[in-house]
Chains A and B, each alone.
Chain A
Amino acid sequence: MGILDIKDVGKRFGGLQALSNVNLSVHENTVHAIIGPNGAGKSTLLNCLIGKLIPDTGSVMFAGESVLGRSAHEINQMGISRVFQTPEIFGDLTVMENMMIPIFAKRDGAFELAAIKSFMSQKDIVEKAEEMLVDMNMADKRHMHAAAMSRGDKRRLEIGMCLSQEPRLLLLDEPTAGMARADTNNTIDLLKQIKAERDITIAIIEHDMHVVFSLADRITVLAQGTPLVEDTPEKIKGHPKVKEAYLGEAH
């Protein structure tokens, strides 16, 4: 039993069986990578975990409770945060405001009518956000509009926003996609640091094998909606089925 248990999950889009018979367990305090070719169903699988999609069959248990049928904010409040394939941040708000929102959500819950006191006067929230910005190496950008930042910075901000909630499970969907090499390396370092410093479980989808092999404790290979193999990075590297289905490709 892991902290996240996916059993027999299937999802169909019209004529396309995007996921079938997915069984997967993510264990506490490990980094579990999910790899697979384009269209393998990786993002779809994550969407089934966070309430964006409801699978047609199967069950998804997080820390002993089912997440199916719960809304997105409830799942987040259970302790799951997600970084999206294209960064989802509050573009019109400043970097500091972006960072404060998840901290408010963590402290005050899904809804709180706090309409009188100024949000900048909430010392605990401001301090935590500042700390997080320093950790993310973007304290100098705090007054910037989030939309005006580079893709790499947006991604870092999004990761920081998720981390600020101290989730038990962090889901990362291709955190280095579309990044320059330098940004990718920074992101790897950041994730390594997170893994070393925090009690956190990470499920990461990634195309970049360099990233996967330097981070993951376990790897699941997904092909055409079904897990092909699951093993340690060393074993996966030499696995013939994997080479055929995935590593043989352009990536």
Chain B
Amino acid sequence: MFGLEKQDSRLLIVVAILTMCAPFILNPFPAESALAQFNAGYPDLMQRFVIFGIFAIGFNILFGLTGYLSFGHAAFLGIGSYSAVWMFKLLSYNVVPALILSVITAGLFAVVIGYISLRRSGIYFSILTLAFAQMSYNMAYSVLTPLTNGETGLQVYSNDPQYLKGDGPDVTHLFGFEMRAASELNIGGWTFDFSIGYYLSALIMLASFYLAIRIFRSPFGLMLRAIKANQTRLNYTGISTRPYTLAAFVISGMYAGLAGGLLACMDPLAGAERMQWTASGEVVLMTILGGVGTLLGPILGAGFIKYAENIFSKINENVLHSWFSFLPDGLESAVVWFFARFVGEGWHMTLGLMFMLIVIFLPGGLIEGGQRIGRLFKGKSASNNPPAE
């Protein structure tokens, strides 16, 4: 199907079904129940799942295939967002030109940053990319304020030209379909939300995923994996590795730009904090958590982190008190104090712990975890049958 091998088509179809049905799947608890806080099926969060999924899919093309670990990819995310908002300011709230410009600008920046950073490999490459991202972040607050609007963040004002707006809507839209438009479906106690914004992002993610599969299976992808496996051998095999790594860097930068653009399409505001090193680190974590170099891993990792972030940062001391109210008073406050370090603002601590556990016990990430569980089941069913040999 679509020029994919059977196995890859199956994977694509499964991912497509899951993303299309996400509003159902992610809302397993009735809206009024106590467990409803663990639901994730509302547009804002689902959009973040798929948008960061795009970011991580692209990052994995660089890091997963070539092994070059960029610590500055959030710069492209931010550049994508700024470009999109500029399109809103200058043309109209239509997302198409915004997304196109996001991808192009991020790609151009990636050519420059990649060209310089890829002169080094290993830790030096990582540090160079980190330095570039921090430079972009600082410049967004200083010399580039005419372009970025500094700390206020770039947004659309009523006196912006919007040359192509005409009588189009005053919110982001796709040829008239507003991103925030949503319909709600109530079945029994359950509520399901379907928003244009989510479905647009999800379709774009599926297209990105499809493209990533094609890249993985192409001669280009093979060369990228060869770079990771043994760059020396590749050089002595007649391959010039630099253009390959640069192409991978630019492609992953464009993916990041697309994700940044989409973020702005969902909420037409761009701030420099999107380019901060923590954001660059986050996509690294997503990819490693999910499974570096696997097709599905980055999407899982992105979903996992964004979901955990949502849950853990929502819990505060009041919630904890209500959970532990059965404990004697002194003990309760001690327990609550302890757990409060890991939730709300402290959620990064939890993220760090989860990351450590996964890297130590599941170096292949969630994908490896899934495979191990799969093997466990297979092993059991195999031992029920008499051995074949």
Contacts and interface: CB of A to CB of B under 8 A. Distances in A.
Given A50-B236, A71-B240, A104 B223 contact: yes
A194 interface: no
Interface in A4-57: 50
B301 to A, nearest CB: 21
Nearest to B233: A88
Contact of B238 (A77, A91, A92): A77
A91 B219 contact: no
Contact of A92 (B215, B229, B234, B241): B229
B240 to A, nearest CB: 4
A151 interface: no
B236 A82 contact: yes
Interface in A94-129: 97, 100-102, 104-106, 108-120, 122
Contacts of A117: 3, 218-219
B229 A90 contact: yes
A20 to B, nearest CB: 26
A92 B225 contact: yes
B214 A90 contact: no
B240 A114 contact: no
Contacts of A93: 222, 225-226, 229
A172 interface: no
Contacts of B215: 115-116
B345 interface: no
Contacts of B337: none
A89 B238 CA distance: 14
A101 B222 CA distance: 8
B221 A115 contact: yes
B219 A104 contact: yes
A122 B219 contact: yes
12 contacts: A77-B238, A88-B233, A93-B225, A100-B222, A102-B237, A111-B244, A113-B220, A115-B220, A116-B3, A116-B215, A119-B217, A165-B238
Interface in A130-189: 161, 165
Interface string B230-257: 1011111111110110010001000000
B220 to A, nearest CB: 4
A105 B238 contact: yes
A210 interface: no
B181 to A, nearest CB: 35
A90 B236 contact: no
Nearest to B224: A115
Nearest to B215: A115
Nearest to B235: A72
Given A104-B219, A118-B3, A113 B238 contact: no
A223 to B, nearest CB: 27
Given A90-B230, A93-B226, A93-B229, A73 B219 contact: no
B237 A114 contact: no
Given A71-B240, A101-B226, A104-B223, 12 more contacts: A72-B235, A90-B229, A91-B229, A92-B225, A97-B226, A101-B234, A102-B237, A102-B238, A110-B240, A112-B219, A115-B247, A116-B215
Contacts of B219: 104, 108, 112, 114, 117, 119, 122
Main secondary structure of the interface of A (DSSP, over half): loop
Contacts of B239: 73, 101, 105, 110-111
A90 to B, nearest CB: 4
Nearest to A50: B236
Nearest to A147: B229
- Size band of the B side of the interface? 20 to 34
Interface residues of A, number: 37
Contacts of A102: 237-238
Interface of B: 3-5, 214-215, 217-223, 225-226, 228-230, 232-241, 243-244, 247, 251
A105 B227 CA distance: 13
A88 B226 CA distance: 12
A201 interface: no
A78 B78 CA distance: 44
B218 A114 contact: yes
A220 interface: no
A76 interface: yes
A57 to B, nearest CB: 24
Q: Which of B217, B233, B236 has the most CB of A within 10 A?
A: B236
B214 A115 contact: yes
A106 B239 CA distance: 9
Given A104-B219, A118-B5, A113 B225 contact: no
Contacts of B225: 90, 92-93, 97
Contacts of A72: 235-236
B347 to A, nearest CB: 35
Q: Which of A72, A97, A122 has the most CB of B within 10 A?
A: A72
B57 to A, nearest CB: 14
A136 to B, nearest CB: 16
A191 B247 CA distance: 38
A91 B232 CA distance: 12
A90 B226 contact: yes
Given A116-B214, A119-B218, A88 B240 contact: no
